[in-house]
Amino acid sequence: MNHKKPCEGCLSRRQALSTGAQLGLGVAAVAAISACGGDSKKNGNPGSTVPTASGLATLDFATYPNLQTTGGSYRLNINGNPVSVTRMSDTSVVAVVAVCTHQGATLGDVSGGSMSCPRHGATFSADGTATGGPTGGNLTQYPATLGTTGVTIKVA
Ligand code: FES
């Protein structure tokens, strides 16, 4: 039996069946809306909720090892928002709200330095710059600093 959990923003099979039935959709349509195109595990720990204290979220390298390497990234839940955190270089890291500026869909994981919107195909660089598709501008960035033991994100 498959107990795979749906990714963030995806419908579970039960939710899809219920929604499909309410909308009068057939089996094929229900299968389409229940399918998840994202690989929510490819960045290691996306979707985990990070606690905040005094307006700061702290990501230590022991828990988030990908942030020790340039290009490493996580999508996390911080203050109720999906946030993509990406190591950009030896000295910098970025944290952006991973919500599309077009119509608010949750963006996919950062891959190859960019992320895309599953709804209409907008694309953004890892630092939140809009790079293509129907966007409403750049993503919101949180100030993020790289320390010797981890990353600190100012969210308030
Ligand atoms: S909601 Fe993201 S491109 Fe439309």
Residues 122, 95 share a domain = yes
**Is 115 within a domain?**
yes
Ligand 1 near 117 CB (within 6 A): yes
Ligand 1 near 59 CB (within 6 A): no
Residues 91, 48 share a domain = yes
Residues 72, 119 share a domain = yes
User: Are 37 and 4 in contact, with CB atoms under 8 Å apart?
Assistant: no
Residues 26, 71 share a domain = no
Residues 49, 32 share a domain = no
Which atom of ligand 1 is least distant from the CA of 103?
1
Residues 67, 33 share a domain = no
Query: For 48-69, what is each residue's pLDDT tens digit?
Result: 899 999 999 999 999 999 999 9
Average pLDDT over residues 102-121: 95
Ligand 1 centroid to 46 CA: how many Å?
20
User: Are 118 and 36 in contact, with CB atoms under 8 Å apart?
Assistant: no
Is the pLDDT score of 147 beyond 70?
yes
Is the pLDDT score of 15 beyond 80?
no
Q: Looking at residue 52, which CATH number applies to its domain?
A: 2.102.10.10
Residues 46, 32 share a domain = no
Domain that holds residue 18: 7-37
The residue ranking higher by pLDDT, 38 or 95, is 95
Percent of the chain surpassing pLDDT 90 = 67
Is the pLDDT score of 139 beyond 90?
yes
Which atom of ligand 1 is least distant from the CA of 122?
3
Residues 111, 66 share a domain = yes
Ligand 1 centroid to 116 CA: how many Å?
9
* Predicted pLDDT at 48: 86
Domains in the chain: how many in total? 2
pTM of the model: 0.72
Of the candidates 121, 149, 153, the one whose C-alpha atom is nearest the C-alpha of residue 134 is 121
The residue ranking higher by pLDDT, 86 or 1, is 86
Residue type, position 146, single letter: L
Residues 138, 104 share a domain = yes
Average pLDDT over residues 12-20: 38
